[in-house]
Amino acid sequence: MTTIGYAAMLEQFHPTDLLDWCAQAEAAGFDAGFMVSEHFHPWTPQQGQSAFAWSFMGALGQRTSLRFGTAVTCPGFRYHPAVIAHAAATLGAMYPGRFYLGLGAGEALNEHVIGGVWPEVPIRSAMMFEAIEVINKLFTGEVVRHDGKYFTLERAKLYTRPETPVPVYVATAGPVNAKKTGKFADGIITVGAADEKMEMIWGKFEEGAREAGKDPSSAPKMLQIHVSWARTDEEAVENAMVEWPNGGMAFFPKQDIKNPEDFAGIAKLVRREDFKNRVLMSSDLEVHAKHIQHYVDMGYDEVHVHNVGRNQAEFIEVFGREVIPNLRLG
């Protein structure tokens, strides 16, 4: 059965407000819980926030009763994998069975702040998968030594950890990482895109899982989709253009852009049609329900919805009352 979740975007909203909206979303029927973004900077200055996700999630676990996790954090630049493992194990111990660790290869927007060279995609990918190896070693509770290509550990042990290790999911949008994710991770996170691309990612993920001797049908498949709902179509389009222009930057090298001001400059080039297959902009609730149902029918275990506008409370109320109850979730 598919469940619907709420995407908590800390680069857009104050953490206190997001806590309130997450509690509202739980009460409204967003039963999959919460995907929490993990940024050092917002995409654009207009978005205006960027709270520390790990602090927020400690409070989120107390305020709500559903699952939650990072979507996503990058192990290897701002954080050594040991620090990520430490933080994840603590949340796993505090909220057993509720926290998952979502990882990605990172963007310069967030990771360049520590200085140094920003590597090419193949190196960032290799770093991430070595980091997963380090994290999983630490999750065993054993004393760990690691002397890898990118990371070193010297007699490290996690003393506080859950009885069952925190699951590690990887966000990926390409075939190589999707296959590696099937091999080395517990599940996959994707972002809404054209069906052909998503089916390709799934196929590669399943191929990697089978090569590793795992049953791909048992691995969670999680999706985050971006929508812009408002009372009028014009307002929905304006919200996307103003509040989430990065959603229309499919053909720009987003992973290599280093500051929100540069994103704001690129945003001036974004057109309405650039949001196709990336952000659904509509005031029609039936259109939104059909959109979400499509992904449910594709077989995702969890579909987490991000409304890009500032109208979060109204979005949660209306979707909880008029969209989620009308979905065929299996």
Q: How far is CA 303 from CA 71, 182, 298, in A?
A: 13, 19, 11
The DSSP bridge partners found for residue 152 are 147
**DSSP-H helix ranges across the chain:** 15-28, 53-63, 81-94, 108-111, 121-139, 175-184, 195-211, 233-243, 260-267, 285-298, 312-322
The Cα–Cα gap between 169 and 188 comes to 5
Residue 247 CB contacts under 8 Å (≥ 6 apart), including other chains: 226, 240, 275, 278, 279, 308
Q: What letter does residue 265 receive in the DSSP assignment?
A: H
Please report the sign of the dihedral spanned by the C-alpha atoms of residue 181, residue 111, residue 304, residue 68. positive
Is 39 marked active-site? Answer: yes
- C-alpha 286 chain-centroid distance: 26
The Cα–Cα gap between 22 and 5 comes to 10
Residue 143 CB contacts under 8 Å (≥ 6 apart), including other chains: 155, 156, 157
Is 107 marked active-site? Answer: yes
Closest CA to 186 of 173, 176, 196, 171: 171
Q: Position 260: which residue type?
A: P
Q: Which of 38, 107, 130, 302 is catalytic?
A: 107
Closest CA to 189 of 70, 280, 80, 29: 70
Q: How far is CA 225 from CA 5, 96, 213, 284, 305, in A?
A: 10, 27, 30, 17, 5
Q: Which of 26, 38, 39, 226 is catalytic?
A: 39
Q: How far apart are the first and last CA of the chain?
A: 5
Which residues are marked as active site?
A: 39, 107
